[in-house]
């Protein structure tokens, strides 16, 4: 269904550009918060809702925001104000308190400004302060926060706003909004008030029967309840309505997708007993695990049907998803079709091409080189240009290439397939539903689809992000995979442990094994820093080579190297020419070096839980026990340190997935959240709101059954909303 024009008055109102409501100048700073329309603004909910007489729990706020770049807001008592320093370089030092803990705020300026701030800060006992959390000598502080003081007569301060006073007197609560440096919470509140003033008489887009079945308040009432509540209960009721709207939009779009697929026909691709797959299986140097064989049979049965396969393969790190996917691809080639594998990054696509080429041998070099059943494997990425690109496009269009590996370049309109029978999408969480469909739409007949993820998926996530797919799981690891011991190394509190980490690397190398050292950045954040920047692979390569790892053969791998240099570095490490490979997270997937037994991850707190789990999956692949050392400066008790301890505690990817999802956003459902556009999950948390998602799914199924042609304008607009988001993602990705 094409996006827009909106059919219902409510969607037309809420999808007005924000500039049309607030004016271009006022609306411009909201872009940093991905707020582009009136509806976006009204769905930008307060992070904290506080009574006007309530004080913020400072200790909890600091703990939640440690390491974050977010601007925070708090209501606190001004416990102490003093002027320090000598003119003309004076400062005002303020101690903010919640009665049990405190936070320092500092203001620097000329003497006349110092006197002005001192007078304002002592004009009332309590104030609302907003700014970026920083650290000085190990202690948290706010530097130059914007503030308003709460007096009995109203508000005074460096950002006076009488609307806040009216809000408190009207509802008794203050909403503290997620903000930026140029857009403090009180400015957002003022703009929300302007938006609410124009909502009178807003027609509810949700059909009455759905609203009654889900026991929801109407939309206009919900917007007022979340921004200007008279009680916490009213705020929660309004929030529940907005959460349901978001859940229903994704679920009804998914439901129509499922219904649409059921009406299409795919070409059956039966397994041949004497074809390419049989030749490949005969050459495999290892036996498939029981689960790999069983999942392979399930996929083969799906491919042998005329109903398009829509499968999600989730597999634990090291469970052999690639082999399972390749065997399905070979089945389709045996049936006269083509199979393509879509990877989210160029380096991963190149690694997949290399891995599959090694597995296939001459079976992937075409019948002129290999046996009659052989096919050609072609790689198409953004860096493939000129004659090489033209040649790849010709091989794909003619059908000469039965196996195609690529990135978003495969979504380009220049790519034409001869007979696309199977689409395999790796690292599915980095792609959206619409991007899958952009590729499958290129086929003359509906292709089968297999999407893969190494991030185990709770049921609520599967319902939301993968609701149009049937789930199949791999948890069994191939024989010979060794256990990996993971240890958190506190490089601040126990610097001696860091020295021991490098000694462990030398010990492993002395036994004929190899090591990875992984860091999050390519270059140092401060090129003039005297100390080694543990986050920079370039700095580590230099300092380790002249220090703790002197005399060892050190390789370097990062994203700025040319494609040829990357290939060479990985090939040399795999061949044993490097003792230690110092790399960014690009080694997270695809690099298989059985001789690697130890990994040191520097500044490990900068990586996500699932990413750390993937990284350590690179070691212990040769039968010997692996050691993963997580070097960190994160303080004990911090959220970052808790993530690392969780990774060290277990190697169960399903357990870690729960931890990971509890601490981050789920990403975009319909497109690439990395693209910078707004996410289709602005409010919804799939773990926290599983009950709302389940109810929305039930009602979405009923809606499709009652209206299979999507003739109801209100339901159609919910689908259009999702399609519009998805198309934006497609445009940006290609």
Domain count, the chain: 3
Report angle CA 542, 546, 548 to the nearest 5 degrees: 105
* Domain edge (last residue) among 599, 630, 663: 663
The token pair at 538 is 């370039």
Containing 596, the helix (H) or strand (E) segment is: strand 596-601
- State whether residue 1 is helix, strand or coil: coil
Q: Are strands 89-97 and 126-136 parallel, antiparallel or unpaired?
A: unpaired
The token pair at 615 is 């990284």
Residues 317 and 449 in one domain: yes
Q: Which residues have CB under 8 Å from 358's CB, separation 6+?
A: none
* The pLDDT of residue 728: 56
| Phi, psi (rounded to 5 degrees) for 600 | -110, 120
* The pLDDT of residue 160: 45
For helices 713-733 and 232-262, angle between their N-to-C axes, nearest 10 degrees? 80
Stretches in the chain below the pLDDT threshold 50 = 2, 159-162, 165, 168-169, 429, 526-531, 665-679, 730, 733-734
Residues 378 and 421 in one domain: yes
Domain range for 366 is 276-474
* The pLDDT of residue 665: 47
Q: Are strands 596-601 and 173-176 parallel, antiparallel or unpaired?
A: unpaired
CA atoms 406, 411, 415, 418: torsion sign: positive
> Is 0.85 surpassed by the pTM of this model?
no
Residues 463 and 488 in one domain: no
Residue 13 in domain: no
Tell me the C-alpha distance between 609 and 652, whole Å.
Answer: 12
Residues 505 and 462 in one domain: no
* The pLDDT of residue 568: 85
Burial environment of residue 225 by CB neighbours within 10 A (0 to 12, 13 to 18, 19 or more): buried
Nearest 10 degrees: Cα torsion 503, 504, 510, 512: -150
Distance of CA 100 to the CA centre of its chain: 36
* The pLDDT of residue 528: 40
Residues 555 and 656 in one domain: yes
Residue 308 in domain: yes
Residue 290 in domain: yes
Length in residues, the chain: 734
Q: What is the pLDDT of residues 655-698, one digit of tens each?
A: 776 666 565 544 433 333 333 334 456 787 766 788 898 899 99
In Å, what is the CA distance from 458 to each residue of 434, 672, 689? 22, 20, 12
The token pair at 692 is 């709302």
Distance of CA 479 to the CA centre of its chain: 32
Residues 445 and 557 in one domain: no
Residues 328 and 390 in one domain: yes
DSSP labels for 158-207? Answer: TT--HHHHHHHHHHSEEEE--BBTTB-HHHHHHHHHHHHHT-TTPPP-S-
Evaluate the omega torsion of the peptide bond into residue 207 and state whether it is cis, within 30 degrees of 0: no
Q: First vs last Cα of the chain: how many Å apart?
A: 20
The side-by-side arrangement of strands in the sheet containing 626-632 is 484-490, 626-632, 596-601, 514-518, 580-583, 554-557
* Domain edge (last residue) among 194, 229, 246: 194
Residues 284 and 423 in one domain: yes
Q: Give the residue among 700, 705, 714 at the shortest CA–CA distance from 248.
A: 700
Cα-only R_g, the chain:
29
Q: What is the pLDDT of residues 464-478, one digit of tens each?
A: 556 667 888 887 766
Residues 504 and 568 in one domain: yes
Residue 254 in domain: no
Report angle CA 186, 189, 193 to the nearest 5 degrees: 140
Residues 450 and 548 in one domain: no
Report angle CA 628, 630, 634 to the nearest 5 degrees: 165
Residue 267 in domain: no
Tell me the C-alpha distance between 449 and 398, whole Å.
Answer: 21
* Domain edge (last residue) among 194, 210, 243: 194
* The pLDDT of residue 462: 60
Residue 263 in domain: no
Cite the DSSP H helix spans in 532-689: 537-545, 563-574, 609-616, 639-649, 653-663
Q: Which residues have CB under 8 Å from 33's CB, separation 6+?
A: 44, 178, 179, 180, 183
**Ramachandran sector of residue 676 (left: φ over 0; alpha: ψ -120 to 50; beta: rest):** left
DSSP labels for 101-135? Answer: -EEEEEEEE-HHHHHHHHHHHTS-SEEEEEEEEEE
Residue 716 in domain: no
Residues 420 and 556 in one domain: no
Residue 260 in domain: no
Q: Are strands 102-109 and 89-97 parallel, antiparallel or unpaired?
A: antiparallel
Task: Output the domain CATH number for residue 301.
Answer: 3.40.50.300
Residues 414 and 524 in one domain: no
* The pLDDT of residue 434: 58
């Amino acid at each position: 269904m094409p996006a827009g024009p909106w059919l219902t008055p409510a969607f037309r109102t809420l999808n007005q550009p924000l500039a049309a409501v607030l004016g271009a100048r006022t609306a411009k700073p909201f872009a940093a918060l991905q707020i582009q329309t009136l509806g976006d603004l009204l769905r930008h909910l307060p992070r904290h809702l506080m009574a006007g007489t309530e004080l913020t729990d400072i200790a909890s706020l600091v703990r939640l925001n440690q390491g974050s770049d977010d601007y925070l807001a708090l209501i606190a008592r001004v416990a102490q104000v003093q002027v320090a320093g000598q003119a003309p370089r004076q400062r005002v030092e303020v101690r903010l308190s919640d009665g049990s803990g405190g936070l320092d705020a500092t203001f620097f300026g000329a003497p006349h400004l110092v006197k002005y701030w001192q007078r304002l800060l002592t004009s009332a006992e309590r104030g609302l302060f907003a700014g970026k959390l920083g650290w000085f000598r190990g202690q948290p502080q706010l530097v130059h926060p914007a503030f308003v003081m709460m007096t009995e007569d109203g508000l005074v301060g460096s950002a006076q706003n009488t609307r806040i006073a009216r809000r408190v007197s009207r509802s008794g609560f203050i909403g503290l909004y997620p903000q930026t440096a140029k857009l403090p919470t009180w400015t957002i509140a003022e703009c929300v008030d302007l938006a609410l003033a124009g909502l009178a008489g807003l027609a509810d887009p949700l059909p009455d029967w759905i609203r009654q079945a889900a026991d929801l308040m109407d939309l206009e009432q919900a917007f007022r309840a979340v921004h200007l509540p008279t009680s916490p209960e009213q705020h929660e009721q309004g929030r529940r309505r907005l959460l349901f709207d978001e859940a229903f939009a994704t679920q009804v779009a998914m439901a129509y997708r499922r219904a649409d697929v059921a009406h299409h026909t795919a070409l059956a691709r039966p397994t041949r007993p004497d074809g390419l797959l049989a030749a490949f299986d005969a050459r495999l140097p290892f036996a498939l695990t029981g689960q790999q064989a069983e999942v392979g049979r399930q996929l083969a049965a799906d491919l042998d049907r005329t109903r398009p396969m829509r499968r999600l393969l989730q597999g634990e790190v090291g469970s052999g998803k690639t082999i399972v996917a390749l065997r399905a691809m070979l089945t389709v080639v045996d049936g006269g079709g083509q199979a393509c594998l879509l990877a989210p990054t160029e380096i991963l696509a190149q690694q997949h091409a290399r891995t599959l080429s090694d597995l296939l041998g001459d079976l992937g070099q075409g019948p002129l080189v290999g046996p009659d059943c052989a096919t050609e494997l072609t790689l198409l990425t953004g860096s493939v240009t000129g004659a090489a690109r033209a040649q790849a496009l010709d091989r794909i269009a003619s059908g000469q290439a039965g196996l195609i590996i690529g990135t978003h370049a495969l979504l380009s309109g220049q790519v034409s397939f001869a007979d696309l029978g199977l689409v395999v999408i790796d690292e599915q969480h980095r792609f959206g539903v619409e991007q899958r469909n952009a590729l499958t739409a290129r086929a003359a007949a509906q292709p089968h689809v297999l999407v893969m993820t190494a991030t185990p998926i709770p049921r609520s996530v599967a319902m939301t992000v993968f609701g149009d797919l049937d789930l199949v799981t791999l948890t069994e690891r191939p024989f010979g995979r060794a256990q990996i011991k993971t240890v958190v190394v506190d490089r601040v509190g126990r610097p001696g442990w860091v020295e021991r980490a490098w000694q462990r690397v030398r010990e492993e190398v002395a036994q004929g094994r190899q090591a990875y050292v992984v860091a999050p950045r390519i270059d140092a954040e401060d090129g003039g820093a005297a100390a080694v920047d543990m986050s920079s692979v370039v700095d580590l390569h230099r300092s380790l080579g002249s220090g703790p790892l002197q005399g060892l053969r050190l390789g370097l791998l990062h994203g700025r190297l040319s494609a040829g240099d990357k290939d060479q570095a990985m090939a040399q490490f795999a061949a044993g020419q490097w003792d230690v490979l110092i790399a960014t997270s690009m080694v997270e997937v695809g690099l298989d070096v059985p001789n690697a037994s130890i990994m040191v991850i520097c500044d490990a707190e900068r990586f996500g839980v699932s990413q750390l789990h993937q990284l350590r999956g690179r070691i212990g692949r040769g039968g010997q026990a692996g050691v993963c050392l997580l070097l960190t400066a994160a303080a004990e008790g911090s959220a970052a340190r808790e993530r690392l301890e969780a990774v060290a505690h277990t190697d169960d990817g399903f357990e870690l997935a729960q931890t990971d999802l509890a601490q981050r956003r789920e990403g975009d459902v319909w497109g690439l959240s990395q693209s910078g556009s707004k996410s289709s999950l602005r409010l919804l948390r799939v773990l926290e709101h599983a009950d709302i998602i389940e109810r929305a799914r039930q009602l979405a199924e009923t809606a499709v059954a009652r209206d299979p042609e999507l003739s109801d304008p209100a339901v159609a607009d919910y689908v259009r909303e999702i399609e519009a988001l998805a198309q934006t993602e497609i445009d940006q990705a290609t």
